[in-house]
Structure 1
Amino acid sequence: MAPILEIKNLYKNYGTTEILKDINVAIEPGDFLVLVGPSGCGKSTLLNCIAGLEPITGGELRIGGQDMTKVSPKDRDIAMVFQSYALYPTMTVARNITFGMKVRGVDQATQDQKLAHVAAQLQIEPLLNRKPGQLSGGQRQRVAMGRALVRDPKLFLFDEPLSNLDAKLRVEMRTEIKALHHKLGATMVYVTHDQIEAMTLATKIVVMKGGVIQQIGTPSEIYNRPANLFVADFMGSPAMNLIPAKARAGSDGTRIEITRSDGAPIVLKDANNRNLPEDVILGVRPEDIADATLRGAEAAQEAECLIDMVEPAGADTFAVMKLGGKHVTARLHSETTAKPGEAKTLAFDLGKVSYFAPETGLRLN
């Protein structure tokens, strides 16, 4: 199956400043691609290049198999939903949704049919005669999405569409967008700085930093096998613990030695990773450090840790300790008996850990 969107060796410069560097991405029909990264990483610029709102400096961009590198935005068969909604304040909701069709000369019967269909999908039928000033933020977002949906384009582009909404409404709209994607089977490209949003919505994630793609993969691949220290630290809440450690090879596996806050070492034995350099960064998710008395994975190695702080959070309790000179967080069960200032035996699931090279930051296993 040919990709709907294919980007090859794309560069974008402003004068002598490189904003995007050698971008290569391809997505299949029905994919939900999320571009994620910190502010200034180039994700919105890349979306604007896909839309044709920004000319590219070098490379190639194809939509539906057609070269769109120098094609006008109106001829790219895309629909865009902006962060600011970009609704006409003097027009009703119905007029905002159908205006683009009217400009393109679509007959009135087709306009009415598409409007009714989209309004039902987004549950905005009671709002059709209102103007944007009479709507809440969530309602305006639905109208902006409705205007895109009536286009029935090859590609939907979303530029941080939920960033103006409060936390509760963000979660609700995120669920609606995901449900809409499943229902339509549409191909979407979505920009966000929120890694939870990225993990929740995407079928494929592109993690960016400094105009460079750090990793492309499914949410599971990005979360469980981060390609480097930046991805490991950026994706996940709380973030992956990144602990300086020593790896010493033995006949029955590799000993991973980590220094506690009192200077004493804890030793974990990893039978699966034997070719590690002496100095490594051990990456372990908070949920993969368990209370040994409550749960232990098959590949778990137990170690006594000194607890510095305990943070109850409903179903979970976060225990913070210092290992390898770094603050390390364990996501424990709410029934844990861990207390600040006391030692606690914790189980590290070595079947799920990552190892990184301290010099390059690249994944080793």
Structure 2
Amino acid sequence: MAPILDIKNLYKSYGDVKILKDINVAIEPGDFLVLVGPSGCGKSTLLNCIAGLEPITGGAITIAGQDMTEVSPKDRNIAMVFQSYALYPTMSVAKNITFGMKVRGVDQATQDAKLKEVAAQLQIEPLLNRRPGQLSGGQRQRVAMGRALVRDPALFLFDEPLSNLDAKLRVEMRTEIKKLHQTLGASMVYVTHDQIEAMTLATKIVVMKGGVIQQIGTPAEIYNRPANLFVADFMGSPAMNLIPAKARKNGAGTQIEIARKGGEPLVLVDPTAPDLPADVILGLRPENIAQADVRTGESYQVADCLVDVVEPAGADTYVMSNLGGKPVTARMHAETTAKAGQPLSFAFDLGKVSYFAPEDGRRLN
């Protein structure tokens, strides 16, 4: 099946300043692609290049099998939902949604049918006669999405559409967008700086930094096998623990030695570790460090660590210790016996460990 969106060797510069560097991304029909990264990484610029709002410096963009590199935005068969809603304040909700169809000369019967269909999908039928000033932020965002949906485009583009909403409404709208994608089977490209949005919405994630793609993969691939230290640290809340360590082979596998606050180094033995340099960064997600009396198994190794901080968080409790000179977070059950200033037996799941090279951050296993 041909990709619905195919970006090849794309560059974008402003004068001598390179914003996007050799971007290569392809998504299949029905994919939900999320571009994620910190502010200034180039994700919104890339979205604008796909939309045709920004001319590219080099490379090519193909949408639904047609080269769109030099094509005007209005002829790209796309629909875009902006962060700022961009609604006409003097028009009713119904007219905002159908305005684009009216401009394109769509007959009134088709306009009415599409309006009815989209209003039902987004549950905004009671709002059709109101103006944007009479709507909440969440309602305005639904109208902006409705205006995109009536176009029935080859590709939907979302530019941080939830960033103006409060935390509770963000979660609700995130669910609505996910359900909408499942219902329509539409192809979507979505920009966000929020890695939780990326993980929950995407079928495929592109992690960016400094105009360069760091990793492309499914949410599970990005989370469980980050390609480098940046992705490991950026994706996940709390972030992956990245612990400086020493590694050396012994008869049972590879011995991993980690400095421990107020005591002898912590020594773990990984029987399945690859060949590692003497200095290595060990990565473990907080949920892969448990209280020893709660979770043990073949892949777990137990060591006593001094507890620095205990943070109750409802169903979970975050327990922090200092390992390798870094604060390390363990996600434990709410009834944990951990107390600040006292030792606790931690169980480390070496079956879930990631290893990274300190000098360039690349993944080693």
TM-score by structure 1 length?
A: 0.99
CA distance in 1 between counterparts of 2:80 and 2:243 reads 42
In the alignment, what sits opposite 1:281? 281
In the alignment, what sits opposite 2:118? 118
In the alignment, what sits opposite 1:264? 264
Give the secondary-structure state (helix, strand or coil) at the position aligned to 2:239: coil
Q: Percent identity at matched positions?
A: 81
How far 1:55 moved relative to its partner?
0.1
CA distance in 2 between counterparts of 1:272 and 1:348 reads 15
The Cα offsets for residues 58-80 of structure 1, whole Å up to 9 and x where unpaired, read as 00110001100000000000000
Query: Following superposition of structure 1 onto structure 2, how do residues 315-330 of structure 1 map, counting pairs within 5 Å?
Result: 315-330=315-330
Contact 1:253 1:274 in 2 (8 A): no
CA distance in 1 between counterparts of 2:100 and 2:274 reads 61
In the alignment, what sits opposite 1:356? 356
How far 1:298 moved relative to its partner?
3.1
Contact 1:301 1:348 in 2 (8 A): yes
How far 1:297 moved relative to its partner?
3.8
CA distance in 1 between counterparts of 2:241 and 2:139 reads 39
CA distance in 1 between counterparts of 2:178 and 2:297 reads 32
CA distance in 1 between counterparts of 2:284 and 2:278 reads 18
Give the secondary-structure state (helix, strand or coil) at the position aligned to 2:351: coil
The Cα offsets for residues 104-138 of structure 1, whole Å up to 9 and x where unpaired, read as 00000000000000000000000000000000000
How far 1:41 moved relative to its partner?
0.3
In the alignment, what sits opposite 1:38? 38
Give the secondary-structure state (helix, strand or coil) at the position aligned to 1:200: helix
Is 1:174 paired with 2:167?
Answer: no
Query: Structure 1 residues 159 and 297, CA, compared in 2 at 3 Å: closer, same or farther?
Result: farther
Contact 1:317 1:334 in 2 (8 A): yes
CA distance in 2 between counterparts of 1:8 and 1:296 reads 47
How far 1:263 moved relative to its partner?
4.4
Is 1:337 paired with 2:337?
Answer: yes
Give the secondary-structure state (helix, strand or coil) at the position aligned to 1:191: strand
Query: Following superposition of structure 1 onto structure 2, how do residues 36-115 of structure 1 map, counting pairs within 5 Å?
Result: 36-115=36-115
In the alignment, what sits opposite 2:23? 23
Structure 2 unaligned runs (5+)? none
CA distance in 1 between counterparts of 2:40 and 2:67 reads 28
- Whichever residue aligns with residue 66 of structure 2, its letter is Q
How far 1:262 moved relative to its partner?
1.4
Contact 1:98 1:111 in 2 (8 A): yes
- Whichever residue aligns with residue 296 of structure 2, its letter is G
CA distance in 2 between counterparts of 1:176 and 1:269 reads 46
- Whichever residue aligns with residue 345 of structure 1, its letter is S
TM-score by structure 2 length?
A: 0.99
Contact 1:9 1:24 in 2 (8 A): yes
CA distance in 2 between counterparts of 1:259 and 1:15 reads 48
Give the secondary-structure state (helix, strand or coil) at the position aligned to 2:25: strand
How far 1:274 moved relative to its partner?
3.7
In the alignment, what sits opposite 1:225? 225
The Cα offsets for residues 238-281 of structure 1, whole Å up to 9 and x where unpaired, read as 00000000111112211111011114111111111141111100
- Whichever residue aligns with residue 62 of structure 1, its letter is T
Give the secondary-structure state (helix, strand or coil) at the position aligned to 1:287: helix
CA distance in 2 between counterparts of 1:15 and 1:143 reads 38
Structure 1 unaligned runs (5+)? none
CA distance in 1 between counterparts of 2:280 and 2:97 reads 55
- Cα RMSD (Å) of the superposition? 0.6
Give the secondary-structure state (helix, strand or coil) at the position aligned to 1:243: strand
In the alignment, what sits opposite 1:239? 239
CA distance in 2 between counterparts of 1:305 and 1:259 reads 11
Contact 1:308 1:321 in 2 (8 A): yes
How far 1:224 moved relative to its partner?
0.4
- Whichever residue aligns with residue 71 of structure 1, its letter is V
